[in-house]
Structures are given as structure tokens and as C-alpha cells.
């Protein structure tokens, strides 16, 4: 059920060009905006109902949904991929509007009292992990009490958010600089307006942030038709293909080989045949926080205006950010406990579960997917769907 909470926000609008110059907001809204950086890609796909337009991530998420659990180590692995944990999820419980419906303080134990009375009574952050004692599902939900923690920016400060998502303190200098940047010379074209932000608007803003050059303008003026998906190429029935094998030999990690089916005329990859190591890495993208993706790609993602949001978190002074730890959570968000791959090619850190509780967690590795050797090549050539959608 959607939250009924709302946040009032003031806008300065260029009424002649139907564009928002900036939105003025306080801590409540800015914390929500910055919290987008902490969301795993799989969580973004989930809250946007598989319409995130984040490349092919929607397809990857749907592939995991359709994948039979017999191809995974445990049933819990599927839950970990479809409901990835967010490092800042406990913090984000205090957001005035929280779009992530994950229960960050929920952990699961075996329902048998005998198992929990043993010396090694383990609990899991993923529901339906397998108990090491009786091999039954760990589905008894427990919770723990969180510490008193603060979010991302300090209270008592007004911020301006430009239409292209630059967040700055609302100083005269910043406002004049923005007016100059937008080439506004006649202030008579400007008008103050007000907007109530509910959960619906937060979700809409997240979606526009991923595709639009002016997300705030699109949100206020309901410009949902300004950005269109790039056309997808389709491969004809009779186009010739060739098979290649590629191996990663450039990093210090052990190389992973995959077999590619390639259209030799267009040099486009039709599909890939890979083992569990590669698929574990591919599926783990769903657990990758947006802020970590931006960092890995050096703030050059090409995804809407997320890079501007990231730079804003970088540029905020210590007078505005709660702490350097808060900044670190935004700029280098960690994976949830035990959500990483053994072959950590991206060099991502995981949360240490013992930092917040005295709890021990037990979760199996992400996924081991069996590759079906008998592939119908004609079907692969004719279709351009996700690699994992069909077996």
C-alpha cells in the first residue's frame, strides 16, 4: 500500500519555456533524492515494475524471476537476487517517503527450537536459506533493534535542485549562477509554484532520473513522452553466424571463458554460452548499488542524470553533509552481507554483519546455473530476447 505521506516543495518555473529552473527543498526531500544512490539495481527494477529502462537490467531481473530454482544453489539465492539488500536500508527506514519495501532488520532462523539451542545457531538475512543442522528452510522471522542513526544531509538547511539534478545549498550565489547558466535574463518569465511530493512522485522522479536530461521539469510538467527507448535490432532468419571464444586475461582475477554466437556480417553478438562463474557475475549486477555503478564507470554512465546526483554528493561541504561516513555510503555503497561473488572482479566491498549486530549469518553463494548444452540455434538467431529467458 502506498504511503500517504507528502512533502511540500517550492519550484521556480520558467513559464515561457515550460521548464523548472530549480526546486527548493529541505532535508526530507534531499535525503530521499540521495537515497537513490544506495539502491541496488535489482531494487530499482523491482520498485519500477521492471520498467527502469536501465539497459537490459529489466530483462536480467525477469530472467531470474523465470529461472527454475533447481538451477540455483538454494531457494534463498533467488530471493537475494530479486530482493537485494541495501547497505543504507536501515537508515532509509527514517526517510519521510521510503520506496524500498525491503525489511532491512528482518533475519531468519530455523523454526526448530532444537537447531537454535545448539552452539552454532545461525540466522540468515535471506528467507528460506537452508539450516545446516536439519536441512530445513530457515523461515522464522526475527528482528533486531537499530541504533539511533542519522541520514545524509543536515537539518535546517534549504537546498536547490536544478532540473538536471545538481543539488546545492540555496545561497544567492548558487541561484544567480544557475539563472545565468540557463540564460535567463528577464525575471518576469519566472514564477514560483508549489508541488506536493508523494510516493508516486518519488517513483516518477526516479524513473525520469534514469532517462531524462531534465528530470525535475519532466516530473512537474508530466513530460513522460520526451524520452524514447532506442530501437532494437532484429536478426533475420538466414543471416550467417560464427562462434568465438573470449577470455578475460587483463585483470588479476582468474580469467572466465565464454562462447559467443556472432553474426559475422554485422559483428553483433546473438547469445553467449557460459558456465556458472560468468552467470554468478552477471546475476550479481542486480545486487550492485547505483552509486557503486557510477563510481566504477567514473561518473560517465550515460544513464539520465544520475552522474550529476553523484557529483552533488561529492561536492557537498561538511557543513551540509551529516558526516563523511554518510558521504561514503552514497559514493561507495557496499553490497549486502554475503551478496558478493567469490570472483570479485569489480572489487566491491560487502557489509560486515557484525558491525551492526552480534548476529552470525549463513547464506549460500549467489547462483549456480546449469547450462543446457542442446541449444536450438535457429530459435536463438530468430529471437533477440534475454539470454536466460528460455531454456
CA angle 227, 231, 233 (to 5 degrees): 165
Is residue 230 over pLDDT 80? Answer: no
236 HSE (CA, 13 A, CB side): 6
Q: Positive or negative, the Cα torsion across 306, 307, 310, 311?
A: negative
Q: 167 pLDDT exceeds 70? A: yes
Q: 351-377 as b/e, with b when 16 or more CB fall inside 10 Å?
A: bebeebeebebbbbbbbbbeeeeeeee
- pLDDT, greater one: 55 or 216: 216
Pick 242 or 330 by higher pLDDT: 330
* pLDDT greater at residue 132 or residue 146: 132
pLDDT of residue 93: 86
pLDDT at 267: 86
Highest mean pLDDT among 146-150, 200-204, 358-362: 200-204
Q: How large is the average pLDDT for residues 171-190?
A: 91
Q: Which pLDDT value is given to residue 297?
A: 92
**pLDDT class of 364 with cuts at 50, 70, 90:** very low
**Is the predicted pLDDT of residue 312 greater than 50, yes or no?**
yes
Query: What is the rounded CA–CA span in Å between residue 142 and residue 146?
Result: 13
Q: What is the pLDDT of residue 217?
A: 93
Q: How far apart are CA 259 and CA 246, in angstroms?
A: 7
Is residue 238's pLDDT more than 70? Answer: no
pLDDT at 376: 42
Q: Assign 238 to helix, strand or coil.
A: coil
Amino acid at each position: 500500500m502506498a504511503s500517504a505521506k507528502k512533502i511540500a516543495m517550492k519550484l521556480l518555473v520558467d513559464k515561457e519555456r515550460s521548464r523548472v529552473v530549480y526546486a527548493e527543498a529541505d532535508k526530507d526531500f534531499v535525503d530521499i533524492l540521495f537515497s537513490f544512490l544506495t539502491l541496488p539495481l535489482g531494487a530499482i527494477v523491482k520498485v519500477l515494475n521492471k520498467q527502469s529502462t536501465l539497459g537490459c537490467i529489466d530483462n536480467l531481473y525477469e530472467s531470474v524471476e523465470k529461472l527454475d530454482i533447481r538451477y540455483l544453489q538454494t531457494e534463498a539465492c533467488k530471493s537475494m537476487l530479486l530482493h537485494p539488500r541495501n547497505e543504507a536500508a536501515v537508515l532509509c527506514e527514517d526517510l519521510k517517503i521510503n520506496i524500498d519495501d525491503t525489511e532491512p532488520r528482518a533475519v531468519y532462523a530455523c523454526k526448530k527450537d532444537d537447531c537454535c539451542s545448539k552452539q552454532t545457531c545461525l540466522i540468515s538475512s535471506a528467507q528460506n536459506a537452508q539450516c545446516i543442522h536439519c536441512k530445513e528452510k530457515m523461515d522464522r522471522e526475527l528482528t533486531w533493534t537499530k541504533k539511533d542513526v542519522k541520514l545524509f544531509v543536515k537539518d535546517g538547511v534549504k537546498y536547490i535542485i536544478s532540473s538536471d539534478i545538481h543539488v546545492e545549498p540555496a545561497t544567492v550565489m548558487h541561484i544567480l549562477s544557475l539563472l545565468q547558466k540557463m540564460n535567463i535574463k528577464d525575471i518576469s518569465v519566472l514564477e514560483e509554484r508549489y508541488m506536493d511530493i508523494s510516493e508516486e512522485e518519488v517513483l516518477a522522479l526516479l524513473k525520469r532520473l534514469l532517462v531524462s536530461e531534465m528530470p525535475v521539469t519532466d516530473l512537474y510538467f508530466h513530460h513522460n513522452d520526451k524520452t524514447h527507448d532506442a530501437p532494437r535490432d532484429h536478426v533475420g532468419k538466414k543471416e550467417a553466424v560464427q562462434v568465438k571464444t573470449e577470455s578475460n586475461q587483463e585483470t588479476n582475477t582468474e580469467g572466465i571463458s565464454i562462447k559467443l554466437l556472432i553474426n559475422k556480417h554485422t559483428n553483433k553478438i546473438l547469445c553467449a554460452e557460459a558456465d556458472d562463474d560468468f552467470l554468478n557475475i552477471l546475476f550479481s549486477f542486480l545486487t550492485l548499488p547505483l552509486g557503486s555503478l557510477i563510481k566504477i564507470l567514473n561518473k560517465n554512465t550515460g544513464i539520465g542524470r544520475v552522474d550529476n546526483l553523484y557529483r552533488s554528493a561529492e561536492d557537498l561541504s561538511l557543513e551540509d553533509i551529516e558526516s563523511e561516513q554518510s558521504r561514503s555510503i552514497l559514493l561507495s555503497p557496499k553490497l549486502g552481507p554475503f551478496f558478493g561473488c567469490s570472483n570479485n572482479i569489480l572489487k566491491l566491498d560487502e557489509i560486515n554483519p557484525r558491525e551492526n549486530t552480534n548476529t552470525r549469518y549463513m547464506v549460500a553463494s549467489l547462483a549456480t546455473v546449469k547450462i543446457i548444452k542442446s541449444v536450438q540455434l535457429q530459435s536463438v538467431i530468430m529471437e533477440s530476447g534475454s539470454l536466460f529467458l528460455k531454456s
